[in-house]
Structure 1
Amino acid sequence: MIERRGKPLMEDQKAVFERCKEFLGVGYNAGDEEWKLLVLGWKAIESPKSDVQMSMKYFSPKKGERSVETGKAVGVVDGSAEEVAAWVMDYCNNERMRIHKEQGNPARIELREKARANEACYATVKKMKFFLDNREFVVRMFWKSEEGKVLINVESIDDEVDYGVELKKVRALTRILWQIEDLPVCGGAKQCRVTLVQQIDAGGVLPTWVMDKKIPEALKCVQEAIDEFRQDEKFDAAELREKAALMRERGQDEVYSKEEERVLEKGKATLAAITSSPDLEVLSSPDPLVTIKATHLDGDKLVTAIGECVIDGEMEELAAFECLKMSREATKFF
Structure 2
Amino acid sequence: MVGRSPEHLRVLEQLAKVAPTQTEVLITGPTGVGKERYARYLHERSHQRGLFVAINCGALPSELLENELFGHVSGAFTGARPTSEGLVASAEAGTLFLDEVDSLALASQVKLLRFIQEREYRRLGESRMRRADVRIVAATNGDLLEAVRKGAFRSDLYFRLRVVPVRVPPLRERPADILPLLRAFTEHYARAYRLSAVEYSPRTMKWFHEYSWPGNARELENVVRYLTALQLDRPVEPGDVDLLDPESGPQDELPGIRLDLSFQRAKRDLIDHFERRYITEALRRHRGNISQAARASGKARRAFFELMRKHGIHGGDAR
Same fold (TM over 0.5): no
Structure (1/2) with the larger helix percentage? 2
Structure (1/2) with the larger strand percentage? 1
Query: Relative contact order: is structure 1 or structure 2 higher (C-alpha 8 Å, sep ≥ 6)?
Result: 2
